[in-house]
Amino acid sequence: MMNEEIPNFTAFDEAAFDSAFAALEKQARADAAALNGEAAVEAFRLKWLGRKQGLLKEISERWLKAAPPEAKKPVGARFKVLKELVESLLLAEVLLDSEHDLAAEAIDITLPGTRRLTGAEHPITRTLNEITSVFAALGYSVGVGPEVETDFYNFECMNFPPDHPARDTQDTLVVAGQDRRPRRDRLLLRTHTSPVQMRTMELQPPPVRIVIPGKVHRNDAADATHSPIFHQVEGLCVDTNITFSDLKGTLDHAMKALFGPAVKTRFFPSFFPFTEPSADVQISCIFCGGKGCRKCKNSGWIELLGCGMVDPSVFAFAAEKQPAYDPKKISGFAFGMGVERIAMMKYGISEIGQFYAGDMRFLGQFA
Ligand SMILES: [Zn+2]
């Protein structure tokens, strides 16, 4: 195939060589100047340097090889110059192209960066850890247990006898299909963290000092202050000569550690099946300092947790596996508090559902 850009020489003299090669150099520069994009650069390479149909190949065939012997040297020298020109034009285009790529990938360091979200403890986890660490500082260790419990651990050994009305205070979610099992083996979702008291005592003779943080379940309708799933921290202290004044001193210290040294506590008689005597603990209102406000219903006090001296019948259950829990020789106290309630007070939250909604606008405030 003859290429029209390459005329045949009519005369093999210097002037003819100069004008022929000058025309080709001009053409090569013009082609290179018009290049745009990677595909065009490749087309340029094929047009000029292609092994089969490239212009240089054809020039070599038709001008160089066909030249008479005396013309081979001047044609060859000009051919070499042209070839180097084409190669350098191609190289320049390739470099320019990669520069374009780099420019496209370049990062503008003056723009604001992509901000990563800061990880943070959930307010419930944070409050739970705060409560736990107050008692850890008093020498308490942390006890854990299953959320799916047996009737025995959740109720019976905590001195809720079968069919006793005390069970009605904790509306319970039970696992279906358990009717054929003995009552005490039937499974339910634990309604309090108290079963871990018994599980710990069965494994470990006195003295015991544990706090039990964990999730509990009750068949309660959700409203502003109730949720069917919530968290408790329970505590148990058993040793010789543990008295009610130990209980008062421990909880008074804990409330001051959690809410500030100005907080006062007071104890009212109450009832829990697993403690005798039992008490409700109130703290002086942290919002008004005890003067009376909307949050404390103008009483100046807020009820926060339950407690009491461990009932001897609970120790009797523990003594079945650990005889050292003889109610005549040892004594102890237990207490329990709702983590959500404390977190709501500490952070001024009025809707318990906000803890579980996963709303980043809410959670972001704790980052
Ligand atoms: Zn108040």
Dist CA 327 CA 305 (whole Å):
25
Q: Please name which of 10, 41, 7 lies closest in space to residue 24, comparing C-alpha atoms.
A: 7
| Predicted confidence (pLDDT) per residue in 93-117, tens digit | 888 878 877 888 888 888 888 888 7
pLDDT at position 4, please? 64
Q: How far apart are CA 18 and CA 24, in angstroms?
A: 10
Tell me how far the alpha carbon of residue 284 lies from the centroid of ligand 1, in angstroms: 8
What is the share, in percent, of the chain residues with pLDDT greater than 70? Answer: 99
Q: How far apart are CA 113 and CA 158, in angstroms?
A: 57
CA of 360 to the centre of ligand 1 (A): 30
Nearest C-alpha neighbor of 225 from the set 341, 306, 347, 345:
341
Average pLDDT over residues 72-99: 87
pLDDT band at 1 (very low <50, low <70, confident <90, very high): very low
Q: How far is the CA of 137 from the centre of ligand 1 (A)?
A: 29
Ranking 29-38, 202-211, 269-278, 305-314 by mean pLDDT, the lowest is 29-38
Q: Given this model, what pLDDT does residue 65 score?
A: 84
- Separation of CA 303 and ligand 1 centre (Å): 11
Query: Ligand 1 mean position to 288 CA, how many Å?
Result: 4
CA of 236 from ligand 1 middle (Å) equals: 30
Give the residue, 129 or 5, on which the prediction is more confident: 129
The per-residue b/e assignment along 208-239, b for 16 or more CB within 10 angstroms, e otherwise, is bbbbbbbebbbeeeeeeeebebbbbbbbbbbe
| 361 pLDDT above the threshold of 60 | yes
Strand partners, 150: 187
Q: Report the alpha-carbon distance of residue 40 to residue 42 in Å, rounded.
A: 5
Give the distance (Å) from ligand 1 centre to CA of residue 296. 4
The CA 297 to ligand 1 mean position distance, Å, reads: 7
d(CA 350, ligand 1 centre) in Å: 15
Least confident of 97-106, 121-130, 147-156, 291-300: 97-106
Residue 231's pLDDT band, with cuts at 50, 70 and 90, is very high
Q: Could you tell me the pLDDT band of residue 178, with boundaries at 50, 70 and 90?
A: confident
Half-sphere exposure in the Cβ direction for 267 (13 Å, CA) = 19
The alpha carbon of 302 and the centre of ligand 1 are apart by a number of angstroms equal to 8
Distance (Å, whole) CA 206 – CA 213 = 20
Task: Say if residue 346's pLDDT is above 80.
Answer: yes
pLDDT of residue 311: 96
pLDDT of 69 > 90? The answer is: no
Ligand 1 geometric centre to CA of 301 (Å): 7
The rounded Å distance from CA 227 to ligand 1 centre is 24
Ligand 1 centre to CA of 366 (Å) is 24
